[in-house]
Structure 1
């Protein structure tokens, strides 16, 4: 299956819109005034381009009950964000500057206020949409007000699971995807795709690609057989949670053998698809809060941006935002904060990490083959690693020191030019010396 060629150069800046614009926690009452907040994102588009990203991956923007993952109307922009005109203006503003736009589709489950589910509650087992859900009705004759048991999403009773064996559900998802692609979206993130039978996606995406062959589809997979899910579902990619965990965990434990094992796994995935890589997103504790030693924050970013795959930067991580996810109601709030009206209002405390992202994205832009690069570990200890990222006859060498003391390393002869570095880095005829907590990206001095 041919994947969209433009994805090779994609670097996403992921935004959780409801948090970003400071929207209310709950949906407004029916008939309330629409709040035109989506235009606030337009003020950040130049910032996205200056960062070096080439796309904006939006979190949920459709009408929902609370956090956006309880969708109630897939054909309406959430009134806390704006309306369809605001969406089309954002698309136009993004495309005029270059970035593409990825939408977040919640097609595993719906909010209880979704009209088809409300029809079921009103009309009972005879409702035309009863086959859309996995229901179990009380024994005996149904009476108005009697509510069925139903499958939900991971015990969240307000999230009603769809019946993916129902053809009408498949056709509905196709209709939703095409509707917003026709209005300028460039692809879809498929929320909780791991909870949907992989066989559901293939006919859906075949139907959508018939009209939009250049669209991109990435499934959210927290666990499972990534390669099999991509193949059976005909997805372009999935989220690489294994690598995310290995990056911060290996740095915290000063155990780069864990990272090495994860790189082997990552290489295997790259044989069949380019995973979406990340070190933060809207569902996890911020990287700057996750790391025990913030001196190693640059090391995580270096790893992330020098591996094969399609990088996704969670908005604020490039400024070293902090935030801890908690397992409670409202526990996501700290990692989904409101942003200022414009980048000019950001604190200067994140400037160094922002410039590091710019520098490493620049390296990636000059070496686009990194999208499909495999890695080979050249030197490995608990506290230091040297690996080569290579594809198409090109290579870069990455060296990391997690210790607070210097380390001397034998480095390969080919890549000797320092393309990016942090800390004290000395390249000599016999190898490489890294000072405490130092790192380096080495190339041959060319741009490709």
Structure 2
């Protein structure tokens, strides 16, 4: 028995509270080492008074490249629980595992309370379950400056004709809030029920991640009246609205930073930033004497441990919820901000709107940011980026499955349902360009995305074949001329979104399994009475198609087989 591969952490993602009286238990072991895992559990007080210890066999769930995960839903009538695991390896040897580590499988050892892990009392509030509506949501990310120009009277002075390229970092095309309002029906027709807007607050840049005033709409985007019309129009169409907040740093034209530049250490905002000495600027070696986002001098990093800064930023986020009834916040560079501040802010926002969705930006596994008083979810790049590598033939099928399963085990199940899953965003090259203009790969990747746990997102224009390399080329103007749109792709995305929304409850909770056969990858989502399968041909020869069920979407499907690059989604 490989003891080094065995791990369980109480009150973590290994003990996910699903509802009152219900916990999902999880144990990790070495792969191909353990034959069976049994969970022994009881209410400690009742057990000590003579009630029997219960036990149940755990299910072999997902496997990563090196580990096997075992899971079990446990009902806890009294909300108190002690528990330990009995492991049987492939040779039939048994061992106990609990709070004190490993112990011999003897009756005397199982009778010692100290051997067991403890869940002293299950409080539903401890679960911090994400808003239920998130798992039903398909998001659409909009970079406002490039989506649509609905009001030419608020265009910047140096505005360029719509779509004229190449796109530069300082290009302006006049996209605004009225442009988004004008196309809400198009988005509703596509099936979108969540709008994620990149920053809309006052800023000198086209991207607006260098905020000047968090309480004002950038005048080139419109007015607060326009924004209220956008929120109301989205809500009338069943869409939620998520704004983007940049609290890791401010723009260097913000009044707080300008006061520091002017007054130095005498500025009342001097301790709002991470400043090493005054006056702020560069030293003799050319190095900045203050901290920034990355290495950008124009984006000084904010000191979020400062109580005055915390209150200001909490007031900002509350204002847009209370005044305009937005539904969600996405927080930029969340992994570089103080955890204590996030707990204070998230608690304040949930007090104002209990079902607000709070999302942090992170590009890596980020258990420290999720739950525990902080975010409902993070941007789930570690889950989604391997999809692109897989369909470009740069990752083996076995490695893809192992990496994906690892990410699916990083968070509690309820939070995994709320993860923000995007294949391309304003920070990445566009999917079509990554796939060298192969729209079949785009369709296959989107199909796989829609089958995974989480809340999927479409980047504006992906549905009509908008291309673009790395930033800033990934921020091209939306193509509204239907003669230049891939309408077949749009129809496919529309069908896929409708299917995803109709099966959101099933996809949030059904079991996941994978089958790799040569160059064939099959993903199965299954409950006791329902099964969905998707098969992808990633080889250089035809493979067998699915043999049962109704085909929902497909490409390259012929009689009984899938052509090279083909895929099929079927429901049974």
Does the 8 A contact of 2:288 with 2:297 survive in 1? no
Does the 8 A contact of 1:270 with 1:309 survive in 2? no
Offset from partner CA, 1:203-251 (integer Å, 9 cap, x none) = 111011111112111111112x322320345201101111222011111
**Is the partner of 1:277 in helix, strand or coil?**
strand
Offset from partner CA, 1:385-425 (integer Å, 9 cap, x none) = 0111246864311100123421126x6x8x62222222224
**Is the partner of 2:214 in helix, strand or coil?**
strand
Does the 8 A contact of 1:397 with 1:441 survive in 2? yes
Report the TM-score, using the length of structure 2 for normalisation: 0.68
- Offset at residue 93 of structure 1 (A): 1.2
2:521 maps to which of 385, 390, 410? 385
Matched ranges for 1:139-288 at <5 A:
149-182=289-322, 183-223=324-364, 225-232=365-372, 234-253=374-393, 255-269=396-410, 271-272=412-413, 273-274=415-416, 275-288=419-432
- CA–CA distance in 1 between the matches of 2:530 and 2:337? 39
Distance 1:244 1:97, change over 3 A: same
2:260 maps to which of 114, 120, 126? 120
Report the TM-score, using the length of structure 1 for normalisation: 0.86
Distance 1:435 1:157, change over 3 A: same
Does the 8 A contact of 2:542 with 2:564 survive in 1? yes
Q: Which residue of 1 aligns with 2:214?
A: 74
Does the 8 A contact of 1:71 with 1:111 survive in 2? yes
Asked which structure has the greater RCO (Cα within 8 Å, sep 6+), the reply is 1
Q: Which residue of 1 aligns with 2:531?
A: 395
Structure 1 unaligned residues grouped into runs of 5+:
28-34, 140-146, 326-331, 428-432
**Is the partner of 2:446 in helix, strand or coil?**
helix
- CA–CA distance in 2 between the matches of 1:424 and 1:36? 40
Q: Which residue of 2 aligns with 1:143?
A: none
Does the 8 A contact of 1:134 with 1:162 survive in 2? yes
- CA–CA distance in 1 between the matches of 2:431 and 2:467? 7
1:18 aligns with 2:174: no
Offset from partner CA, 1:119-176 (integer Å, 9 cap, x none) = 212222122211111111249xxxxxxx982110111111110001111111111111
**Is the partner of 1:14 in helix, strand or coil?**
strand
Does the 8 A contact of 1:12 with 1:54 survive in 2? yes
Q: Which residue of 1 aligns with 2:228?
A: 88
1:318 aligns with 2:463: yes
Does the 8 A contact of 2:384 with 2:422 survive in 1? yes
Give the paired residue count: 411
Offset from partner CA, 1:280-330 (integer Å, 9 cap, x none) = 1111100000014713221111111111100011000111210001xxxxx
- CA–CA distance in 1 between the matches of 2:502 and 2:409? 25
Structure 2 unaligned residues grouped into runs of 5+:
1-127, 150-154, 160-173, 280-286
- CA–CA distance in 1 between the matches of 2:493 and 2:264? 54
Distance 1:217 1:263, change over 3 A: same
Larger helix percent: 1
**Is the partner of 2:202 in helix, strand or coil?**
strand
Q: Which residue of 2 aligns with 1:303?
A: 448
Distance 1:56 1:128, change over 3 A: same
Does the 8 A contact of 1:376 with 1:388 survive in 2? yes
Q: Which has the larger radius of gyration?
A: 2
Does the 8 A contact of 1:252 with 1:292 survive in 2? no
- Larger mean CA deviation between 253-262 and 54-63 belongs to 253-262
